């Protein structure tokens, strides 16, 4: 160690030879100097100091033994050299020369003799002191020699110790280097250990998390296990049951197999029968096609027998708002058992509800009279055969005639928000057509359907299926086709429903006294049906016209004026012309005035010869509408009396 090199060593060599004291500070590492030679002095007595001063005191030189180096008998020095002690070579006390005990009295100047003796005495004293001092000096010289010798020995020891020290220093340096290496190694090991520890800790925490999740899973699995064990137990018992069942089923199976063998024989027999039946079916199918043709013929015959123009009367129910003024319908009677007669009490037209004319009744008979409780479905049942005729290739025309508010639009289209129960004749007719075309596919018939929807307002045709405002001019051609009219090929009932919605938005409505939303135009929904049969090579083309006529009320009751008056006049003109055309047809006149109004001109092919016509006369149940109802019923009766000829199937 570096500190060891700084060990304080006694600077013996540097000591003044005369120095009386030598101080040695041994360290624990120095060997103990146990024996040092002790100088032997013979101290001269003070009395013979002078005589013996010259004599040399014989000092026995101590023989230095190898090993210890210090002769026996040097106790004082040995003791002083003991470890931890400060070694002191003590100075022998200097013997002072004897001094005159009493100072001589001062002699008078004249006492020369006395003074001489005093001086002699003093002389003697001084000599003795001198001797004494000489003696002391020789002693000290001896001691110095002794100490120098000791110093030499100590130098040897110190050199030895220095050598040992340097060796030790080397060893220490070596050890320190090793320690540093070891410390470095320890630090790197520590670092590695720390890394490993951190790694292990992170792994440990991950494993802890995994452990927890696995514990959770284990818990769930245990629960599942318990559940599964229960299930297994249940299934085991079920299996036992099933095994018994299985064995019984096996028995049944064996029986069944036997039966099967037997049945196979039967099946073979039946297969032969099937082959026979198939040929019969083919025969029957061809018969069916023939029968379908016969059915069409017969159906038409029935229609003809019913008359080619038919009139149905429909009285709508009182609306909830109308029940406040009139709780029930008292002036209309639906007594006919056959549902074909309507009786109306005679009421003073000017004061309806006030005065019934005694005993008087108007009686009307039509092909069908529907009372207020008749449902849309019931009404359609009666017209569905005419729809069928359109599919068979006839032109069919169904009108709704009556005053505003009598239920024409309700009958033809249904209420604004209609459903299965309340939907009108147009959607029902379309539904039936779609159903029939599907059914007829089996007989080889394929149909295409084109729809158009127009209105005649003030003798002008307006397309109800255009998007936005209809700016095109529409004329009726000789074949009753309308120019610039939208024709939509329809493929589903939904599509038709959308067309009706669009048309009702486009349709002109205007408020009058009779009905806030009175229809002031005739609307014509036309469905052109073109069919072809690949099996029979037949083709047919029919048209179904469903017409919602404008209100038939007379001028006086609507209280119209100006533009409204013009509308009313046009409506009345076209309606009366419709009556005239029907009358002319009934009278088999040579000239039928189709061209007198747009409506009749448009329907020329659907009225008369090659068509089947049906008119609904819609009647309001309100007594206040007595006059209008009477007019409508009279008009319908006239129509009903017409025989407008036999319809011709249009076969291409």
Phi, psi (rounded to 5 degrees) for 220 = -60, -45
Q: Is 519 in the site for ligand ADP (CB under 6 A)?
A: yes
Residues in binding contact with ligand ADP, number by CB under 6 A = 16
Q: Binding segment for ligand ADP among 129-137, 399-407, 443-451, 563-571 (CB under 6 A)?
A: 399-407
Q: What share of the chain is helix, strand, coil (3-state, %, to 5)?
A: 50, 15, 35
Between 352 and 372, name the residue whose CB sits nearer to ligand ADP: 372
- Exposure of 400 by Cβ count < 10 A (0-12 exposed, 13-18 middle, 19+ buried)? buried
Strand, coil or helix: 284: helix
Instruction: Residue 352: name the closest of 634, 630, 636 by CA.
Output: 630
Selected from 52, 371, 389, 409, the binder of ligand ADP by CB under 6 A is: 409
CB 379 within 8 A of CB 594: no
The tokens of 64 are what? 């230095």
For residue 106, give the DSSP letter: P
Looking at residues 517 to 546 of the shown chain, list those that interact with Mg ion (rule: CB under 5 A). 519
CB 434 within 8 A of CB 497: no
What's the CA gap between 459 and 15, in Å, rounded?
A: 159
Residues in binding contact with Mg ion, number by CB under 5 A = 3
Long-range contacts of 107-116 (CB under 8 A, 24+ apart): none
Q: Is 406 in the site for ligand ADP (CB under 6 A)?
A: yes
Q: How far is the CB of 407 from ligand ADP (least distance, A)?
A: 3
Q: Binding segment for ligand ADP among 107-115, 398-406, 452-460, 495-503 (CB under 6 A)?
A: 398-406
Q: Is 408 in the site for ligand ADP (CB under 6 A)?
A: yes
Selected from 409, 512, 552, 577, the binder of Mg ion by CB under 5 A is: 409
Strand, coil or helix: 330: coil
Between 347 and 549, name the residue whose CB sits nearer to ligand ADP: 549
Q: With the C-alpha atoms ordered 426, 432, 435, 438, is the resulting torsion angle positive or negative? A: negative
Looking at residues 272 to 291 of the shown chain, list those that interact with ligand ADP (rule: CB under 6 A). none
- Annotate 67-88 with DSSP letters as a single string: TT-S-TT-HHHHHHTSTTSPEE
Phi, psi (rounded to 5 degrees) for 148 = -60, -40
Looking at residues 411 to 440 of the shown chain, list those that interact with ligand ADP (rule: CB under 6 A). 415
The tokens of 171 are what? 């060893």
Q: Is 406 in the site for Mg ion (CB under 5 A)?
A: no
Q: With the C-alpha atoms ordered 589, 595, 597, 601, is the resulting torsion angle positive or negative? A: positive
Q: Which one of ligand ADP, Mg ion, none is in contact with 317 (Cβ closer than 5 to 8 A by kind)?
A: ligand ADP
What is the per-residue binding string for ligand ADP in 20-59, x denoting contact by CB under 6 A? ----------------------------------------
Which residue is associated with the tokens 């110095």?
144
Q: Which one of Mg ion, ligand ADP, none is in contact with 625 (Cβ closer than 5 to 8 A by kind)?
A: none
Between 455 and 470, name the residue whose CB sits nearer to Mg ion: 455
Q: How many residues does the chain have?
A: 652
Q: Binding segment for ligand ADP among 333-341, 402-410, 425-433, 594-602 (CB under 6 A)?
A: 402-410
Strand, coil or helix: 528: strand
The tokens of 482 are what? 């309308």
What's the CA gap between 527 and 389, in Å, rounded?
A: 13
Q: How far is the CB of 521 from Mg ion (least distance, A)?
A: 9
Bridge partners (DSSP) listed for residue 247: none
Q: Is 618 in the site for ligand ADP (CB under 6 A)?
A: yes
Selected from 26, 69, 405, 427, the binder of ligand ADP by CB under 6 A is: 405
Q: Binding segment for ligand ADP among 7-15, 397-405, 456-464, 486-494 (CB under 6 A)?
A: 397-405
Q: Is 402 in the site for ligand ADP (CB under 6 A)?
A: yes
Q: Which one of ligand ADP, Mg ion, none is in contact with 428 (Cβ closer than 5 to 8 A by kind)?
A: none
Q: Binding segment for ligand ADP among 404-412, 482-490, 564-572, 640-648 (CB under 6 A)?
A: 404-412
Looking at residues 150 to 169 of the shown chain, list those that interact with ligand ADP (rule: CB under 6 A). none
Q: Binding segment for ligand ADP among 7-15, 23-31, 220-228, 313-321 (CB under 6 A)?
A: 313-321
Residues that bind Mg ion (CB under 5 A): 408-409, 519
Residues that bind ligand ADP (CB under 6 A): 316-317, 319, 402, 404-410, 415, 515, 519, 551, 618
């Amino acid at each position: 160690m570096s500190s060891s090199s700084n060990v304080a060593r006694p600077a013996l060599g540097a000591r003044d030879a005369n120095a009386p004291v030598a101080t040695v500070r041994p360290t624990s590492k120095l060997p103990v100097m146990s024996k040092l030679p002790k100088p032997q002095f013979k101290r001269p007595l003070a009395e013979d100091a002078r005589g013996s001063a010259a004599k040399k005191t014989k000092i026995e030189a101590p023989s230095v033994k190898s090993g210890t180096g210090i002769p026996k008998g040097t106790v004082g020095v040995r003791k002083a050299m003991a470890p931890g002690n400060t070694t002191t070579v003590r100075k022998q006390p200097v013997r002072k020369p004897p001094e005159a005990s009493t100072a001589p009295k001062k002699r008078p100047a004249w006492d020369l003799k006395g003074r001489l003796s005093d001086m002699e005495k003093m002389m003697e004293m001084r000599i003795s002191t001198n001797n004494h001092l000489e003696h002391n000096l020789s002693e000290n010289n001896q001691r110095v020699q002794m100490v120098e010798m000791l110093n030499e020995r100590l130098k040897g020891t110190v050199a030895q110790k220095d050598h040992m020290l340097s060796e030790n220093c080397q060893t220490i340096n070596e050890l320190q280097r090793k320690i540093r290496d070891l410390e470095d190694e320890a630090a790197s090991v520590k670092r590695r250990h720390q890394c490993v520890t951190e790694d292990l800790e992170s792994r440990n925490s991950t494993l802890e998390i995994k452990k927890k999740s696995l514990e959770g899973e284990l818990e769930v699995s245990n629960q599942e296990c318990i559940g599964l064990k229960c299930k297994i137990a249940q299934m085991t018992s079920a299996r036992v049951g099933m095994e018994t069942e299985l064995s019984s089923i096996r028995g049944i199976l064996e029986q069944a197999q036997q039966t099967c063998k037997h049945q196979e024989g039967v099946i073979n027999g039946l297969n032969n029968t099937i082959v026979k039946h198939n040929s019969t079916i083919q025969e029957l199918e061809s018969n069916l096609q023939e029968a379908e043709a016969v059915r069409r013929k017969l159906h038409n015959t029935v229609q003809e027998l019913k008359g080619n123009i038919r009139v149905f009367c429909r009285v709508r129910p009182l609306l909830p708002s109308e029940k406040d003024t009139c709780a029930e319908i008292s002036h209309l009677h639906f007594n006919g058992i056959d549902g074909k007669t309507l009786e109306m009490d005679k009421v003073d037209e000017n004061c309806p509800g006030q005065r019934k004319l005694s005993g008087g009744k108007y009686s009307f008979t039509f092909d069908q009279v529907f009372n207020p409780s008749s449902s849309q479905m019931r009404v359609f049942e009666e017209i569905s055969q005419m729809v069928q005729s359109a599919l068979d290739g006839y032109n069919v025309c169904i009108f709704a005639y009556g005053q505003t508010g009598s239920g024409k639009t309700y009958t033809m289209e249904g209420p604004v928000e209609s459903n299965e129960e309340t939907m009108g004749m147009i959607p029902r007719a379309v539904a039936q057509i779609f159903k029939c075309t599907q059914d007829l596919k089996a007989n080889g018939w394929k149909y295409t359907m084109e729809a158009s929807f127009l209105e005649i307002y003030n003798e002008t045709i307006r397309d109800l299926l255009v998007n936005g405002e209809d700016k095109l001019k529409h004329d009726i051609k000789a074949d009753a086709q309308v120019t610039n009219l939208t024709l939509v090929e329809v493929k589903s009932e939904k599509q038709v429903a959308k067309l009706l919605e669009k048309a009702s938005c486009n349709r002109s409505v205007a408020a009058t006294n009779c009905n806030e939303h009175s229809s002031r135009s005739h609307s014509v929904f036309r469905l052109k049906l073109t069919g072809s049969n690949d099996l029979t090579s037949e083709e047919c083309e029919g048209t179904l016209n469903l017409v919602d006529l404008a209100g038939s009320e007379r001028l006086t009751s609507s209280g119209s004026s100006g533009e409204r008056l013009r509308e009313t006049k046009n409506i009345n003109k076209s309606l009366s012309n419709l009556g005239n055309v029907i009358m002319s047809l009934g009278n088999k006149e040579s000239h039928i005035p189709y061209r007198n109004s747009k409506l009749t001109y448009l329907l020329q092919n659907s009225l008369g010869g090659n068509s089947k016509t049906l008119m609904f006369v819609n009647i309001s149940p309100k007594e206040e509408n007595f006059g209008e109802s009477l007019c409508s019923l009279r008009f319908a009766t006239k129509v009903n009396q017409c025989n407008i000829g036999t319809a011709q199937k249009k076969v291409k």
